[in-house]
Amino acid sequence: MNDYKKYLQPDEIARLANLELKARLVVEGFITGLHRSPYHGFSVEFAEHRPYWPGDEVRHIDWKVFGRTDRYFVKQFEEETNLRSVIAVDSSASMKYSSDGRLSKFEYACYLAAAIAYMLINQRDAIGLALYDTKIHSYLPPSSKRSYIREILRLLETTTPANETGTAAALDLLAERIKRRGLVVIMSDFFDNPDSVMHALNHFRHNKHEVIAFQILDPRERDFKFGKAANFIDMETGEEMITHPYQIERSYTSAMKEFMAKIKHQCRLHNIDYHLVDTTMPFDKSLRDYMAKRAKM
């Protein structure tokens, strides 16, 4: 495996010492893959260029960058760098779940949030962070100061998932708090009433925000392949149930597919970018989804 690809693998990143190092290496690995050439550090070039998008003026293409990367980039001017974004991370107890020694959903969300924040700060965009369960318990308003990244990372590192899920109510509160139009990135398992969740997501759209919804799930939550017998514990209530998974696998997987499909369908109806994320998924896929949205704004 190429070195840069190693740092896009969740299990490799989990072994590193601190969140700032993790975020930097994820982003550098992503940019290396994007440029298809060795990438040494985070340079000014990335801060001043963005991928070419149909409709951009050809005269703004940087042909020197094309010569080095074989990819089209346009020069990004100062007025294009004033995006304001808020990343909302679900920190309820259900996000603690992990199977087979994998990253928990919350850990994956934190690494992805840190990487996006790192990218935004280095593009001179403003980034904020909200952590919520049944309510918003931590909020950092958007700022583009480079030193601000440490505040964001510190908050992510010191948060432990707890309490019940209240995604819909918490996101409604967040929509009221964010006054200026921008981009809202939400990372959650969305284990809440889907109609209430969609009502809250539409609250952001009603306020003219662009929205990306990352639904983060563990592989076992999708396929229910737990073996012959298992002890199931509710992460939020502590209630336990011992059963043979095959007895409920069919009904569970059917209900889960219906749940995910409903959220995905409703997001598309309301022009919300929806992405299903597995905690084993390399980070470059999620970052590409984010960059595709950023390039359109």
pLDDT at 58 over 50: yes
pLDDT for 37 equals: 41
Using CA atoms, how far apart are residues 191 and 256, in angstroms rounded to an integer? Answer: 10
The CA-based dihedral angle spanning residues 252, 257, 263, 269, taken in that order and rounded to the nearest 10 degrees: -150
Confidence bin at 35 (pLDDT 50/70/90): low
pLDDT for 79 equals: 45
pLDDT at 224 over 80: no
Structural domain boundaries of the chain?
A: 3-78, 82-295
Q: What angle do CA 115, 57, 32 make, to 5 degrees?
A: 30
Model pTM?
Answer: 0.80
Closest CA to 83 of 117, 33, 43: 117
pLDDT for 10 equals: 92
pLDDT for 239 equals: 64
Read off the pLDDT of residues 139-188 as tens digits, 9 standing for 90 and up.
999 998 889 999 999 999 999 999 888 999 999 999 999 989 999 999 99
Name the CATH architecture for the domain at 82-295. Answer: 3-Layer(aba) Sandwich (3.40)
Of the listed ranges 12-21, 84-93, 213-222, the one predicted with least confidence: 12-21
pLDDT for 296 equals: 74
